[in-house]
C-alpha cells in the first residue's frame, strides 16, 4: 500500500494539536518525529505492514474510538480519547527494520524486502512500554494509562492477568473503548 506519508503526518499532528492541550505534547511529538513513528509499519505482516502503517493505524483507532464513544456510560473527554487512541502503540517506534529474504516469484528466486522486529528496549508488555515512553514526555491520567496499558485486551502476552484486564475495563470504560477501537481498526478496516 502506498500512502502519502506527509499528508498523513499532518492529519495526525492536526488531531493532536486541536484535541490535546497537555504539557509535554510538543516534546513527545518532536521525539516521535525524530524517530520513525510517521514512516514505521504497524506490524511485520498483519495490519498496516507498510511504510506509514503505524501512523495510519493510530488515526484509524482514534476515528473508531470517536464513533464508539456513544456506547460509554459517560462520554470520555476528547483529550483523553485522543491521547489513548493516538499514542496507544508508541511502543512500536523504532521497533521494526527492513531486512531481505529470498522468495520464489513466477518460478524465479528474487530478493525481497520485509519487516522484522528489532527490539532494542525490552520492557515487558506492549501497553506498559507505551505508557512508560509517553510518560517520559507527558503525564497521563490513571484512566489514560489503563486504556493504553490494556488496549491489547487479553492477548498482550505480558504478566497482566485476565482478571486485571477485566477489572481495568470495569473501572475505566475508556480502556475497553480503546481496545474495541483497536480491534475494529485492525480487523475491520486494515486487513
Beta-carbon count within 10 A of 173 CB: 18
What pLDDT does 114 receive? Answer: 85
What are the angstrom distances between the C-alpha of 88 and each of 128, 133, 145, 169? Answer: 10, 10, 9, 15
The residue whose grid cell reads 528496549 is 121
- Reported as a single tens digit per residue, the pLDDT across 86-131 is 999 999 999 999 899 999 899 999 998 888 888 887 776 788 899 9
Q: Over the range 19-28, which residues count as b (16 or more CB within 10 Å of their CB) and which as e? A: bbebeebeeb
pTM of the predicted structure, to 2 decimals: 0.91
- Reported as a single tens digit per residue, the pLDDT across 62-90 is 999 999 999 888 889 999 999 999 999 99
**Dihedral sign computed on CA atoms, order 101, 129, 14, 32:** negative
- Please report, for the chain, the start and end positions of each structural domain, with discontinuous segments joined by +: 5-95+124-189
8-state DSSP, 89: T
pLDDT at 15 over 80: yes
Amino acid at each position: 500500500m502506498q500512502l502519502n506519508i506527509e499528508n498523513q503526518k499532518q492529519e495526525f499532528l492536526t488531531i493532536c494539536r486541536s484535541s490535546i492541550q497537555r504539557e509535554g505534547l510538543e516534546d513527545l511529538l518532536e521525539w516521535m518525529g525524530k524517530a520513525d513513528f510517521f514512516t514505521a509499519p504497524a506490524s511485520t505482516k498483519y495490519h498496516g505492514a507498510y511504510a506509514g502503517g503505524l501512523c495510519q493505524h493510530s488515526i484509524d483507532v482514534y476515528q473508531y474510538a470517536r464513533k464508539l464513544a456513544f456506547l460509554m456510560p459517560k462520554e470520555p473527554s476528547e483529550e483523553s480519547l485522543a491521547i489513548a487512541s493516538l499514542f496507544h502503540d508508541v511502543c512500536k517506534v523504532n521497533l521494526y527494520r527492513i531486512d531481505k529474504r529470498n522468495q520464489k516469484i513466477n518460478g524465479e528466486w528474487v530478493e525481497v524486502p520485509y519487516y522484522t522486529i528489532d527490539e532494542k528496549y525490552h520492557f515487558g508488555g506492549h501497553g506498559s512500554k507505551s505508557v512508560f515512553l509517553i510518560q517520559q514526555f507527558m503525564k497521563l491520567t490513571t484512566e489514560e494509562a489503563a486504556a493504553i496499558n490494556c488496549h491489547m485486551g487479553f492477548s498482550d502476552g505480558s504478566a497482566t492477568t485476565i482478571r486485571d484486564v477485566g477489572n481495568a475495563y470495569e473501572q475505566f470504560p475508556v480502556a475497553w473503548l480503546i481496545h474495541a477501537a483497536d480491534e475494529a481498526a485492525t480487523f475491520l478496516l486494515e486487513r
